[in-house]
């Protein structure tokens, strides 16, 4: 089951921002950004939230730097992530740049409340057995991702509802998550 990031992540801020091309550094494209409790995710537009174009996983080591744009105003924000990815954003005004920087700074300061990391997902023998995936624990569920470099597009999402159960198995360090409302079960 593939779900959009906006369906599981808590959205703290959103809006259109210019983003510098990561490789060439030559061109700028306007993208729609979602700031969540652990990532900065971007899309082509607010109408295309099915597949993200990319994201930056925010950590306690993420560094933010405000920089001058070509017009001399401090309205560029450089984001350096400890996972090697980063980006430069340009805002219409210096005030907008500061507002986004402040919101991202708040996320970075609260990142200790976000739980994420690699774990082995056990599947049936016919579907490939075991797979190492990156998991993110959210307020309302847990999502699995192919790696920490692609947290914008979850592979699967398990929502926490009143019917969801956590079934620990002490002998093998195995946890089973079950949500009968969505007919989803993870091991």
Of 161, 156, 180, 178, nearest in space to 169 by CA: 178
Per-residue pLDDT tens digits for 110-121 = 887 677 888 877
The pLDDT assigned to 54 comes to 87
What is the mean predicted confidence (pLDDT) over 40-66? 88
Residue 2 — very low, low, confident or very high, per pLDDT cuts 50/70/90?
A: very low
Question: Which is more confident, 82 or 18?
Answer: 18
Of 146, 163, 157, nearest in space to 186 by CA: 157
What is the mean predicted confidence (pLDDT) over 156-183? 68
What's the burial of 39, exposed, middle or buried (CB within 10 Å: 0-12/13-18/19+)? Answer: buried
What is the mean predicted confidence (pLDDT) over 149-159? 80
Could you tell me which residues come within 8 angstroms of residue 14 by beta carbon, excluding any fewer than 6 positions away?
A: 32, 33, 34, 35, 46
- 52, pLDDT greater than 80: yes
Question: Which is more confident, 184 or 97?
Answer: 97
The pLDDT assigned to 121 comes to 75
């Amino acid at each position: 089951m593939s779900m959009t990031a906006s369906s599981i992540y808590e959205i703290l801020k959103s809006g259109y921002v210019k983003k510098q091309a990561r490789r060439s550094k030559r061109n700028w494209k306007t993208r729609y950004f979602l700031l969540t409790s652990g990532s900065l995710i971007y899309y082509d537009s607010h109408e295309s939230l099915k597949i993200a174009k990319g994201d930056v996983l925010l950590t306690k080591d993420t560094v933010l730097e405000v920089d001058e744009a070509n017009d001399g105003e401090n309205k560029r924000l450089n984001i350096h992530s400890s996972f090697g990815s980063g980006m430069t954003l340009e805002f219409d005004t210096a005030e907008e740049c500061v507002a986004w920087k402040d919101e991202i700074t708040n996320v970075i300061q609260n990142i200790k409340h976000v739980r994420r990391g690699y774990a082995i997902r056990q599947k049936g023998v016919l579907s490939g057995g075991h797979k190492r995936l990156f998991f993110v624990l959210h307020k309302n569920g847990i999502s699995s991702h192919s790696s920490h470099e692609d947290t914008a597009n979850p592979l699967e999402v398990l929502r926490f509802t009143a019917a969801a159960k956590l079934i620990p198995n002490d002998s093998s360090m195995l946890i089973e998550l079950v949500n009968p409302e969505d007919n989803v079960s993870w091991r």
